[in-house]
Structure 1
Amino acid sequence: MLRTRPYYADRSLSAAFYEVVTAADSNLTGDIEFYADLAPPGGSILELGAGAGRIAFALAERGLPVVGVDIAPAMLEQAGKRLAETPDAVAKRLEFRRGDMTALDLKRTFDLVICGYFTLAHLPAGAAWRNTFAVIARHLEVGGAAAIHLPLADLMRLPGPANPAALVLDEPLPGGGRLQLHVLERRFRADIGRLDQVIEYVERGADGGVLRRSPERQTYYVADPIPFAAAAGLSVARPPTRLGGVGDIWVFRKT
């Protein structure tokens, strides 16, 4: 059996090169503007699964205060390094904390809660989704919005590349190296709505030689979010918005 490490784990290349991969992903184009438009001027934002802070930093640069929560130390370490290099005017609007979004209680509320880039889909669509929606509702002001980005079920059912050696990403790195990604395995279980895939990260030096190689297991779950939101007291605010052809952003409100 292929030995893998989880996505975003310590020493994983998915964590180390998160910014490279997301910057290259055209399917994310427009998500930051979408979230910014949902927040009232100067409104407070909670981001669940903030990772290295791609969204949080961009919103803070737009004048919005953001608390970013993530469970992965490797991702928070990156956010912390970037925060230390951020101008004070922006940094003062940012706070990053380690926490579990299925059990979080910050004892405060926000105008907007974000769960972006398929973060919720990493959790099994059962108790974990119910608990996360309860956390979202707990942290929302009355009238506040929650934005949740989920993958499309039809795309999750598609098979992986016929050739595992085929590159699905090939991006330049500082110093002349490259980051390359391959999909080694991909399986979808319709009975539980789960996609399992193994993505191999390969870091190459300027001479083309392999510096690091890391097969990493990524799992997504798909389900209808509306019943989970309704159970938490949230209602659909608008039809889901398609983003990049691979996912929808669902917007709910607390009334």
Structure 2
Amino acid sequence: MAQTRPYYAEKGLSAAFYDTVTAADRRLEGDLDVYARLAPPGGTILELGVGTGRLAIALAEKGFRVTGVDIAPAMLAQAQAKLAELPSHVAGRIELKRGDMTAIDLGRTFDLVICPYFTLAHVPRGMAWKNTFLTAAKHLKPGGLAAFHLPLAEIMRLPGPDNPEAPVLDEPTPSGGRLQLFVLQREFREEVGRLDQVLEYVELDARGGVLRRSAERLTYYLTDPEPLAAPAGLAVDREPVPLGGVGEIHVFLKA
């Protein structure tokens, strides 16, 4: 197998085709409405893990002011390019910053902090989770909410596909070709709550020829978030909100 890159790496395809994959993932449907209901109309939102701006742009279109933070330059570059195509009154409600959600300090507070699409699960449970909850609490106004989308344990425990040579995703690309996604490896370690996967992205041209391929390692971590959020002053606000049958949005209140 070719060299395995980290997920969302600069030369990988997971970042380049992030929008293709998320658009095809029907299990994300409804997350925008969940987050929009957690903030006051026209309120301020901090998005940890803004990616290519999928949610930030949609929230700005609803009248919210959004600051998006991401650690991956390849993702932020796409988000910035999208902003340049937006109407000025929408783009003016969005600010993008590169930063690490476990350590960033913007020096201001927001009505709502969101950490969508399993972003928290990308970092090791323990101190990285505690520090992310501290970041959320530090940037929240009193009475503000923080929402974290986490995968379900039973989904993480699922085995890989029976046939690793069959794509788990096959979607058209903006250039007229296709994107195929293969699961080459998948292993869940129960004792540490860690799912390791190697996914291969293959970009095909209009005739089915391979243009690019990239094997990338995607790791998710999972544990009970409540004990790690509590030291930051975040208390559970409600029952987790189910989303798409594969995850839940955990909502916390800053007293």
Normalising by structure 1, report the TM-score. Answer: 0.98
Which residue of the partner structure matches residue 111 of structure 2?
A: 111
Matched, 1:48 2:73: no
Q: Which runs of 5+ in 1 are unaligned?
A: none
- What letter is aligned with 2:200? E
Moved over 6 A (4+): none
Which residue of the partner structure matches residue 60 of structure 2?
A: 60
Which residue of the partner structure matches residue 163 of structure 1?
A: 163
Using the TM superposition, give the Cα deviation of residue 174 of structure 1 relative to its aligned residue in structure 2, in angstroms: 2.5
Which residue of the partner structure matches residue 83 of structure 1?
A: 83
Residue-by-residue CA offset, 1:61-102 (whole Å, 9 max, x unaligned): 101000000000000010111111111010000000000000
Which residue of the partner structure matches residue 245 of structure 1?
A: 245
Q: Determine the C-alpha separation between the residues in 1 that align with 2:110 and 2:184.
A: 41
Matched, 1:72 2:72: yes
- What letter is aligned with 2:182? H
Which residue of the partner structure matches residue 28 of structure 2?
A: 28
1:1-255 equivalent positions in 2, closer than 5 A: 3-255=3-255
Q: Determine the C-alpha separation between the residues in 2 that align with 1:164 and 1:2.
A: 16
Using the TM superposition, give the Cα deviation of residue 175 of structure 1 relative to its aligned residue in structure 2, in angstroms: 3.7
Aligned to 1:230, the other structure's residue is in SS state: helix
Identical aligned residues as a percent: 68
Q: Which runs of 5+ in 2 are unaligned?
A: none
Q: Determine the C-alpha separation between the residues in 1 that align with 2:241 and 2:80.
A: 31
Q: Determine the C-alpha separation between the residues in 2 that align with 1:204 and 1:146.
A: 40
Q: Determine the C-alpha separation between the residues in 2 that align with 1:15 and 1:140.
A: 29
Aligned to 2:192, the other structure's residue is in SS state: coil
Using the TM superposition, give the Cα deviation of residue 163 of structure 1 relative to its aligned residue in structure 2, in angstroms: 1.1
Q: Determine the C-alpha separation between the residues in 2 that align with 1:125 and 1:154.
A: 17
Between Structure 1 and Structure 2, how many residues are aligned?
255
What RMSD, in angstroms, separates the aligned Cα atoms of the two structures? 0.8
